[in-house]
Structure 1
Amino acid sequence: MRLSTSQIAAATGGTLHGPDVDIDSASIDSRSVRRGQLFVPIVAARDGHDFISAAVESGASAYLTDRAPDAAVDATAIQVADTAEALADVGRAVRALLPGRVVGVTGSVGKTSTKDLLAGVLETTFVTAASAKSFNNELGLPLTLAGAPDSTEAVVLEMGARGVGHIAQLCSIASPTVGVLTRVEGVHLEMFGTIEDVAQAKGELIDSLPADGLAVLNADDPRVAAMASRTSARVLTYGVENAADVYATDITLDDELRASFTLHSPWGQAPVKLGARGEHQVGNALAAAAAGGGLGVPLDQIVEGLFAAELSGLRMEMSTTAAGVTIVNDAYNANPTSMVAALTALARLDASRRYAVLGTMAELGDDSDAAHRSVAKQALDLGVTVIAVDEPHYGDGVTHVAGVDGAVAALSELQRGDAVLVKGSRVAALERVADALSE
Structure 2
Amino acid sequence: MKLTFWEAAKVTKATNNWKQWTDFELTGIEFDSRLITRGNLFVPLKGENDGHSFIESAVSKGAGAAFWSSTKTAPDQFPILQVADSLKAMQDLAVYYLKKMTPTVIAITGSNGKTTTKDMTEAVLAQQFKTYKTQGNYNNDIGLPYTILHMPDATEKLILEMGMDHAHEIDFLSQLAQPDVAAITMIGEAHIENLGSRAGIAQAKMEITAGLAVNGLLIIPADEPLLLPLTKELPQTISTFGLEQADCKATIIEAQKEYTTFNISGSDTLFTIPVPGKYNVGNALIAISIGQWFKLTEEKIQAGLADFQLTKNRTEWLKNNLEIEILSDVYNANPTAMNLVLDSFSQMPTLGHRVAVLGDMLELGPDSARMHASVSEHLNPTEVTDVVLYGEQMQALYNALTKKYPESQLHYFKKDEKEHLINALKSILKPKDMVVLKASNGMGLNEVVTKLLEM
Q: TM-score, normalised by structure 2?
A: 0.90
Contact between 2:359 and 2:389, CA under 8 Å: does it hold in 1? yes
2:198 to 195, 199, 205: 195
Aligned residue in 2 for 1:399: 411
Residue 35 of structure 1 aligns with which residue?
38
Checking the alignment, whether the CA contact within 8 Å between 2:188 and 2:337 is kept in structure 1 is: no
Give the superposition deviation at 1:91. Answer: 1.1
CA shift at 1:69, angstroms?
7.5
Identity %: 32
1:415/1:181 Cα in 2 relative to 1: closer, same or farther (>3 Å)?
same
Q: Kindly indicate whether the alpha-carbon contact (under 8 Å) linking 2:36 and 2:61 is maintained by their aligned counterparts in 1.
A: yes
One-letter identity of the residue aligned with 1:91: A
C-alpha deviations, 1:361-417, integer Å up to 9, x for none? 011112211111122452245434221222333333331224431221111222111
Contact 2:356–2:388 (8 Å) recurs in 1:
yes
Pairwise CA RMSD of aligned residues?
2.0
User: Is 1:173 matched up with 2:176?
Assistant: yes
Work out the CA distance in 2 between the residues paired with 1:416 and 1:69: 60
Match of 1:354 in 2: 354
State the Cα distance separating 1:108 from its structure 2 match: 1.4
Q: Who is 1:322 aligned against? A: 321
Q: What secondary structure does 2:296 align onto?
A: coil
Residue aligning to 2:2: 2
Q: Distance in 2 between matches of 1:186 and 1:370?
A: 12
2:38–2:62 contact (8 Å) kept in structure 1: yes
Q: Write the distance in 2 (CA, Å) between the matches of 1:74 and 1:385.
A: 66
State the SS of the aligned residue for 1:386. strand
**Separation (CA, whole Å) in 2 of partners of 1:179 and 1:370:** 33
Q: Are 2:58 and 1:55 equivalent residues in the alignment?
A: yes
CA contact (8 A) 2:343 2:378 kept: no
- Say which is worse superposed, 197-206 or 55-64, in terms of deviation: 55-64
> Are residue 149 (structure 1) and residue 163 (structure 2) matched?
no
Question: Is 2:262 the partner of 1:247?
Answer: no
What residue number does 1:370 align with?
370
Structure 1 residue 25 displacement after superposition: 3.1
1:410 to 418, 424, 443: 424
Q: In the alignment, which residue of structure 2 is the partner of 1:431? A: 446
The answer to whether 1:293 aligns with 2:308 is: no
| Aligned equivalents of 1:223, 1:33: Cα separation in 2 | 45
- Structure exhibiting the larger radius of gyration computed from Cα positions: 2
Partner of 1:282: 281
SS in 2 for 1:290: helix
Match of 1:88 among 91, 112, 128: 91
The code of the aligned residue for 2:314 comes to: R
C-alpha distance 59-377 of structure 1, shift in aligned 2 (>3 A): farther
Unaligned runs of 5+ in 1: none
Aligned equivalents of 2:65, 2:365: Cα separation in 1: 43
Residue type at the aligned position of 2:412: H
Cα distance change, pair 36–334 in 1 and its aligned pair in 2 (3 A): farther
Number of aligned positions between the proteins: 435
Partner of 1:342: 341
Report SS of the residue matched to 1:383.
coil
Runs of 4+ in 1 over 6 A off after TM superposition: none
Tell me the CA shift for residue 71 of structure 1.
5.1
| Structure 1 match to 2:272 | 273
2:217 to 195, 210, 214: 214
In the alignment, the residues of structure 2 paired with residue 269 and residue 133 of structure 1 have an alpha-carbon distance, to the nearest angstrom, of: 34
Q: Give the match's secondary structure for 1:296.
A: coil
Q: What residue is the counterpart of 1:420 in the other structure?
A: 435
Provide the residue aligned with 1:185 in structure 2: 188
Does 136-145 or 371-380 show the bigger shift? 371-380
Q: Is the 8 A contact 2:103 2:158 kept in 1?
A: no
1:54 shift after superposition: 1.4
How much does 1:328 deviate?
A: 1.1
* CA distance in structure 2 between the aligned counterparts of 1:202 and 1:133, rounded to whole angstroms: 20
The residue type paired with residue 395 of structure 1 is: Y
